[in-house]
Amino acid sequence: MLDKRKFYINGQWVAPSAPRDCDVIDPSNEEVCAVISLGAEADTNAAVAAAKTAFESWSVTPPATRRAAVAGILAQYEARAEEMAQAISIEMGAPIDMSREDQAPCLSWHLENFLTAFDEMEWVRPLGPHAPDDRIAMEPIGVVGLITPWNWPMNQVTLKVIPALLAGCTCVLKPSEESPLSSMLFAEFCHDAGVPAGVFNLVNGDGMGVGSQLSSHPDIEMISFTGSTRAGRAISIAAAETMKRVTLELGGKGANLIFADADEKAVKRGVLKMMYNSGQSCNAPSRMLVERSIYDKAVEIAAEVASNIKVGPASEPGRHIGPVVNRRQWDQIQGYIQKGIDEGARLIAGGPGLPEGMNKGFYVRPTVFADVVPGMTIEREEIFGPVLAIIPFDTEEDAVRIANDTPYGLTNYVQSGDGPRRNRLARRLRSGMVEMNGTSRGAGSPFGGVKASGRAREGGHWGLEEFLEAKAISGWDSSS
């Protein structure tokens, strides 16, 4: 068991001011794998004070200096990538092969994309030829509080910390108490890369404690949060008193529109994407909308694919899915599965309880419901587990209506061989992202949603500019 009862504040590891232990549970076996401390208000205040002091110098460093520091973090990751993969796997249950190939490399992928965007950034820009003596200066917003989730821990840490540092901000990170080990390793990367003291700080804690303290702290200029819509609303309310900028990346209930002319792998692709990471992704295609003429065949394929997905411990190699993160999450998913049965959806794969042969660990059977009717609980609410709802539709208009009839708006998906139709749907679907025919978003593409999915745009140029403010300057001396 790892003892991680320390915080990273002002360039050094420090003991908590009022130790309050919290066990980190390995979801594969329900055993304690580490012990952390939850921060008290004094710890939060110390971290914010360090960041505020460091901002005075960090905010005016040459861009090349900030770039070198971030490149140093990348070098640290490349030297210790296996440690990162192991930390993520044990803390939140990602199978080790998936952690090595996808979870941990989120750090290098996003960091390199940010460096590309950074190199293209124009920090002082002309307003336009109509105003030759006007400039727009892009300047760091100040001290930022960063609150990240457990499901893709390094993905979200990188999407927040790296652009903040490149922009010239200083920050305090509160990772999820469910998955703190990868973030504490990231803090080591920052230290060993020579990031100046106070520029990056980490305080472990829960939402009611450190999360609330950051959200209302008068010296924090901005909160960037990824997590549940419920928590996002609470953070927005708390931050309003001090007029903070708030960027939120929240939940989703993505629709995957499969038309009769879709390619033969469309249904299988949709099921596998839904079950990936044990369904614990905000952009998961959890509602499969299928054109009625191919509906019965799609249901048959989906049932077969889901039934063949293996479930196993995160430590084992292979293409299986692992457990969900904790007992609370497991119980919640079981409740949704039972709700689907009770409300009359047709269970065609999986179902309640642990997978066969398992009696320990937070494992969920890959579950698929057919004949789901819009308005059912499993169609409306984000389950955040390996549970897919299949719904038939008759026309393109019908599909759009069902897809958009949700509080959420993060990612939607379209499967069709008709190019003009895909383009129409891409514009009509109410979401921050649309992925079509299995094509992933390109490097530097912004990640974020609309409506109850929040309004953040993370990644690339958009991710950098979230941490910058535009200053209008007139009377600029063009000769200097």
List active site positions. 249, 282
Instruction: Answer whether 367's CB lies under 8 Å from 337's CB.
Output: yes
Q: Which of 433, 445, 395, 20 is nearest to 203 (CA)?
A: 20
Give 189-194 contacts, CB < 8 A, sequence gap 24+.
189/73, 189/76, 189/77, 189/80, 190/8, 190/73, 191/8, 191/11, 192/72, 192/76, 193/69, 193/72, 193/73, 193/75, 193/76, 194/69, 194/72
- What residues contact residue 440 under an 8 Å CB cut-off, 6+ apart? none
CA separation for the pair 193, 190 (Å, rounded): 5
- Quickly count helices (H) and strands (E) in the chain: 16, 20
Q: Distance between CA atoms of 167 and 366, rounded to whole angstroms?
A: 42
DSSP structural state of residue 195: P
Give the DSSP H or E segment for 291: strand 287-291
At 368, which helix (H) or strand (E)?
strand 367-370
Amino acid (1-letter code) at residue 296: D
**Please, which contacts does 21-24 make with residues 24 or more away whose CB atoms are closer than 8 Å?**
22/177, 22/204, 22/206, 24/91, 24/177, 24/178, 24/179, 24/180, 24/181
**421: helix, strand or coil:** helix
Q: What are phi and psi of 188, to 5 degrees?
A: -60, -40
The total of other beta-carbon atoms located within 10 Å of residue 68's CB is 13
Segments in 211-319 forming alpha helices (H): 212-216, 229-240, 266-275, 295-307
Dmax over CA atoms of the chain, in Å, equals: 76
**How remote is the C-alpha of 357 from its chain's centroid?**
32
